[in-house]
A and B are shown apart, each in its own frame.
Chain A
Amino acid sequence: MQSSEQEEDLRLLRESARTLFDRAGGSGRSRKLRDAGGEFDPDMVRELGEAGVFGVAVPEEQGGLGMGLAAGGVIAEEVGRVIAPEPVVATIGLGLGLLRRLCPEHPKLEQLIGGEASLAVAWQERGPGGASADATCRYADGKLTGGKAWVVGAGGTQDFLVVAEADGGPVLVLAEASADGLVTTRRAQADGSSLGELSFSGTPAAELACGAAVQGALSEAVADATALAAAELVGLSQRAFEITLDYIKTREQFDKPIGSFQVIQHRAVDLNVMCEVAQAAVREVLMRMDGETDASIRARLASRAKARAVTAARKVTRDAIQLHGAVGYTDEFDIGLYLNRALVLSAWLGDDAYHRRIWFDAREEEGAAQ
């Protein structure tokens, strides 16, 4: 349960985040950035940093606001509502999630909170059927070799945080984007963003942390980012639903608004219920994750959130197109932007089918352990 004080804090946070994004131009800003071929706006990143957005979930003693993941979720929902292309969730969940757990003294932490630095996290590797379970990216004698895949925010970042294997186990290292022997290939995504594929050949990098703690912090950070991505999808779905609701109230065929046809009304109600269930589930998950220390339970909670949010976003954005008719299939209406963004956010960090499997396996393991 939330205290009413905490509830009020989150409400105020939501209001100020919404105002900030709306003043910046809402979804129209995202469209303009995409059309200009830019991935995100560095000025916006700075502005978000100044507003304290990135530091919401970082403890106060480390320079953040100490409001927990629940507050991160509030921000993520607002990001989703305006389909902002800035890597807010990746920064809060992965970048800051790793730094604050492994090396809170590192100056990058403060710079990242302030929106003065950009940092993309490279942790996954490509295997034959998707993400590989084994890491082959090596770190030895201060240099990286191997590759990483699906790096969010790779275009336009100054530095990469890389999780690699060293002789003594996993390490977290920092490599400059302009470092020797680093080739970044961008793969275009449906929403106009891109994912980076990195290839290192003797790329110099500085070690920030090593040992089992790196693996532990990575799992925690990935769980945080997964739950926050779910929140971003919740905000996105909610807004896509609102746009659709407006449309079916105004579009007329057969001399009445199409929203007067009972089949359309029932569809709209189903979407609304779907959005509300997803929002309730994801908000509950984030709050429970804040109070939970057991890493495997946190991971299971995050999977629950992402599974629900992806299912909801898929249903809402696909039906939204259908209810718009042909205009929904154009780029001129915003609803298509929401569909495209949902495709990207759903694939990132695992879709619903993937997370339902993880959730079930984790549940079985916990059962066996009891």
Chain B
Amino acid sequence: MTDWNAMSDAEFRKEVRGFLEAEYPEELRHLPHRPKFAEIEHWHRKLHTKGWVAPAWPAEYGGMGLNAAKLLIFYEEQQRWGVNRGRDMGVQMVGPLIIKFGTQKQKNYWLPRILSCEDIWCQGYSEPGAGSDLANLRTRAEIDGDDFVINGQKIWTTMAHDATHIFMLVRTDPDAPKKQQGISFVLAPMDQPGVEVRTITTLSGETEFCEVFFDNARTPRENLVGELNKGWTMAKALLSFERIFIGSPSLAQNALGQLESFARGRGAFDDPVFRDRFAQAALDVEDHAALYSRFADQLKRGETLGADVSMLKIWVTECFQRITELMIEAAGPDGGTVGPLQVGNVSVDVLASFYKARPTTIYGGSNEIQRNILSKAVLGLPD
């Protein structure tokens, strides 16, 4: 097996770039929507054969075992080439959870199925009454023989209509003294009579998230991950990983690239005001990357990240939104037009980028919540 980490950064980058440019299907570059699995399946097969589905997982579980520096390069190259993340909730969220907290049996069973996409996962955390206040979740799981019986409702479940399994936080002890206690982490199959999925249309007309209803749905007790009633701590452990991922420069960098070619094509750089605003955005992205690598270095040294990682997400998501506003400005009278706008030989879907940027300040812990975290946990401000 190749030890990628032994390569120089430049060598590794060349390797990744070469593979993506040669193998990634042209028609899937810079996809403006979240694809269903069928749409990207042939690409996934290629990745799987190559052994590149899970760059961050240890090699013993079928991952590439990349260290933080190499991982960063891997993601940068993916973004640069407009490679779709694919249906990566399994790889990004369930896999790390099982690797960290799962039993050997769970690892043996689930991990290969995640890599092959035999199972496609969705994330069932949020509920109508449990958004920012996630600990308020009410969906119940009660033990009945060898099964959990699940009743309740999840919402905003991204791509649940195209998933085979859901990883969820459920309430297993309603009498626990604190909301955060009595929550467990379970895995459940979607294809069963007690699970009903209803898609929700977004304001841009896409159907990418859903409501999921559980009416005496069942999942075997062995699908509990970690200890009973200890789900909250585990979810939080996962979140810190999610926050560095969500705080990475990639989305903003990618949008900046699109803005640049679009604005150049439209002649927007003839205007000194626009040049200044572009330069501001470009420096916002570049300087964020400097802060990001400080955190990445911490990971490289094997340290765990503190609450201060939240600042990455705040900065980069708001920057991403400003970049898409600039795209709209550069589009001028076409700024309200749906679909790709052609300039010279580039085509940029300005509104698709704009819509994509909107919820980044809402999901993954809203930016208000991140600011609350920073002011309390980092600045030590009193309640």
Contact = CB atoms under 8 A, between A and B. Distances in A.
Interface of A: 124, 128-131, 149-150, 187-191, 195, 252-255, 258, 261, 263-264, 314, 318, 321-322, 325-326, 328-332, 336-337, 339-340, 343-348, 350-351, 353-354, 357
B203 interface: yes
Interface in B293-340: 321, 325, 328-329, 331-339
The interface centre, meaning the residue of B155, B201, B358 with most chain A CB atoms within 10 A of its CB, is: B358
A325 B203 contact: no
B333 A253 contact: no
Nearest to A187: B337
B3 to A, nearest CB: 42
10 contacts: A130-B331, A130-B332, A131-B333, A191-B336, A253-B132, A328-B362, A331-B202, A343-B354, A347-B332, A347-B333
A325 B131 contact: yes
A351 B371 CA distance: 31
B290 to A, nearest CB: 27
Contacts of B328: 343, 347, 351
Nearest to B135: A254
Contact of A189 (B204, B268, B336, B371): B336
B339 A188 contact: yes
Interface of B: 126, 129, 131-133, 136, 155-156, 200-205, 209, 266-268, 270-271, 273-274, 321, 325, 328-329, 331-339, 351, 354, 358-359, 361-363, 366-368, 371
A329 B331 contact: no
Contacts of B155: 326
A253 B133 contact: yes
Given A129-B268, A330-B200, A325 B366 contact: yes
A31 to B, nearest CB: 12
For B132, B270, B338, B361, the residue with the greatest tally of chain A CB atoms inside 10 Å of its CB is: B338
Given A347-B334, A348-B336, A326 B363 contact: yes
A357 B273 contact: yes
Contacts of A343: 328, 335-336, 351, 354
B359 A326 contact: yes
Contact of B132 (A187, A254, A321): A254
Contacts of B332: 129-131, 347, 350-351, 354
A326 B156 contact: yes
Of the candidates B336, B339, B354, B368, the one having the most CB atoms from chain A within 10 angstroms of its own CB is: B336
A331 B201 contact: yes
A346 B368 contact: no
**Top 3 A-B residue pairs of the complex, sorted by shortest distance between their CB atoms:** A336-B203, A347-B335, A129-B267
B356 to A, nearest CB: 11
A261 B369 CA distance: 11
Contact of A330 (B203, B273, B339, B361): B203
Contacts of A332: 200-201
Given A263-B368, A329-B362, A332-B201, A129 B266 contact: yes
B71 to A, nearest CB: 29
A322 B361 CA distance: 7
A353 B277 CA distance: 11
A328 B131 CA distance: 13
B5 to A, nearest CB: 38
Contact of A253 (B136, B202, B358): B136
Given A189-B336, A195-B337, A330 B131 contact: no
Contact of B333 (A150, A261, A331, A337): A150
B201 A321 contact: no
Nearest to A326: B156
A326 B131 contact: yes
Contacts of A129: 266-268, 270, 332
Nearest to A329: B359
A225 to B, nearest CB: 13
Contacts of B331: 130, 347
A103 to B, nearest CB: 27
A130 B333 contact: yes
B329 A351 contact: yes
Contacts of B361: 322
Contacts of B362: 321-322, 325-326, 328-329
B268 A190 contact: no
Contacts of A322: 361-362, 366-367
A264 B371 CA distance: 12
Question: Which of A187, A190, A254 has the most chain B CB within a 10 Å cutoff?
Answer: A190
A139 to B, nearest CB: 23
Given A129-B268, A322-B361, A254 B133 contact: yes
B133 to A, nearest CB: 4
A274 to B, nearest CB: 16
A69 B132 CA distance: 46
Nearest to B335: A347
B183 to A, nearest CB: 16
A260 to B, nearest CB: 13
A247 to B, nearest CB: 13
A125 to B, nearest CB: 11
Contacts of A354: 332
B232 to A, nearest CB: 15
B266 A340 contact: no
Given A322-B362, A329-B358, A337-B203, 6 more contacts: A130-B334, A188-B338, A188-B339, A346-B335, A347-B336, A348-B336
Contacts of B203: 321, 328-331, 336-337, 339-340
Nearest to B338: A188
B12 to A, nearest CB: 37
Contacts of B273: 353, 357
Nearest to B128: A327
A230 to B, nearest CB: 16
Q: Count chain A CB atoms within 10 A of each CB in B156, B202, B203, B335 and give the residue with the most.
A: B203
B136 A351 contact: no
Given A129-B266, A325-B366, A331-B203, A348 B333 contact: yes
A353 B329 contact: yes
A347 B329 CA distance: 8
A189 B337 CA distance: 4
Looking at A150, A314, A321, A329, the one whose CB has the most chain B CB atoms below 10 A away is A329
A263 B366 CA distance: 13
Contacts of A255: 133
B155 to A, nearest CB: 8
